[in-house]
């Protein structure tokens, strides 16, 4: 293997998964080969643990799941997480008050349960993509006093960018604010990032961070990609993000396989759709 990579952290949507939200067979086969050679494969996603766990199981490897944008690390089938970082209850209550007042559609993530005020088209789109279940809770201000894992706001790409700038300016370092998809802006504990989760997992496994690889496509992957020993952005990522990568695959659908073949297994990639 080149670069002596021992741990690979991979985003799901638009990275490991194709447009049909499935793992392309070539991605699966190449990751299985890397796992056979002793590489730990970890999913790193903004999704809930339950939504991401099925892909770890589908890969057929004992992969820790970094979920909620880094707020949780949990093995498939485990009752308790290895790591779980939540929002401060006072800050969470303040944010909920703000988004309710501004009539922003949002989902509140608490102890693996999802709550929303109403089941509108934004909630339906989110649930259709992730397969999660959600509870319709009306006024979510009644959840004040809890420490949610994250709060996700939904809206148009332009509204998402505006909210991102607004919340960063308003809350500063009291929160971690990021965009996971063009229509999703997320608020978490400052220590709940994919980068901090990767650092924690690498230390837990006794793997130097320079022997890790991270692959992603969005702003919420940036810190993780820059923190890893080898950082990979998919070719669909914004130009500003690609400029931070060590490697950019040519294939959007099979970019994970392409990167792992070249940078971990040390061989020339197979043309897209060509199999192993």
pTM: 0.88
Name the CA radius of gyration of the chain, rounded. Answer: 18
Alpha-carbon distances of 237 from 123, 219, 249, 273, rounded to whole Å = 25, 9, 11, 21
Alpha-carbon distances of 119 from 37, 100, 103, 172, rounded to whole Å = 46, 15, 14, 31
pLDDT tens, residue order, the chain (276 aa): 456 999 999 999 999 999 999 999 999 999 999 999 999 999 999 999 999 999 999 998 888 899 999 999 999 999 999 999 999 999 999 999 999 999 999 999 998 899 999 888 888 888 888 988 889 999 999 999 999 999 999 999 999 999 999 999 999 999 999 998 899 999 999 999 999 999 999 999 999 999 999 999 999 999 999 999 999 999 999 999 999 999 999 999 999 999 999 999 988 766 666 554
d(CA 236, CA 217): 7
Ordered structural domains, the chain, with CATH? 7-84+192-263 (3.40.50.1000), 89-188 (3.30.1240.10)
CB neighbour burial string for 91-111, b if at least 16 within 10 angstroms, e if fewer: bbbebbeebeeeebbbbbbbe
CB 13 within 8 A of CB 45: yes
- Spell out the residues 6+ positions from residue 135 whose beta carbon is closer than 8 angstroms to its own: 113, 114, 115, 116
What pLDDT is stored for residue 271 in this prediction? 62
Q: How many CB atoms lie within 10 A of CB 58?
A: 11
Residue 89 belongs to what H/E stretch? helix 89-101
């Amino acid at each position: 293997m080149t670069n002596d990579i021992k741990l690979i952290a991979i985003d799901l949507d638009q990275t490991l998964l194709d447009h049909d939200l499935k793992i392309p067979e070539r991605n699966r086969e190449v990751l299985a080969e890397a796992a056979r050679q002793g590489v730990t494969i970890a999913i790193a996603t903004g999704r809930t643990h339950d939504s991401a766990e099925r892909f770890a199981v589908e890969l057929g490897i004992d992969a820790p799941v970094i979920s909620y944008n880094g707020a949780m690390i949990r093995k498939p089938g485990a009752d308790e997480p290895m790591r779980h970082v939540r929002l401060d209850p006072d800050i969470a209550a303040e944010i909920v008050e703000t988004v309710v007042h501004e009539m922003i559609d949002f989902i509140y993530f608490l102890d693996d349960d999802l709550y929303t005020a109403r089941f509108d088209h934004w909630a339906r789109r989110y649930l259709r993509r992730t397969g999660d279940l959600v509870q319709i809770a009306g006024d979510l201000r009644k959840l004040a006093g809890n420490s949610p894992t994250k709060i996700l706001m939904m809206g148009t790409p332009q509204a998402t960018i505006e909210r991102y700038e607004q919340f960063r300016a308003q809350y500063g370092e009291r929160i971690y604010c990021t965009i996971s998809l063009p229509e999703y802006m997320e608020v978490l504990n400052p220590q709940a990032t994919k980068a901090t989760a990767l650092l924690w997992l690498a230390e837990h496994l006794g793997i130097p961070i320079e022997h890790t690889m991270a692959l992603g496509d969005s702003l919420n992957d940036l810190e993780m990609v820059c923190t890893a020993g080898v950082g990979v952005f998919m070719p669909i990522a914004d130009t500003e993000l690609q400029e931070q990568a060590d490697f950019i695959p040519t294939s959007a659908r099979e970019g994970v396989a392409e990167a792992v073949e070249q940078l971990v297994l040390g061989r020339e990639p197979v043309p897209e759709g060509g199999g192993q």
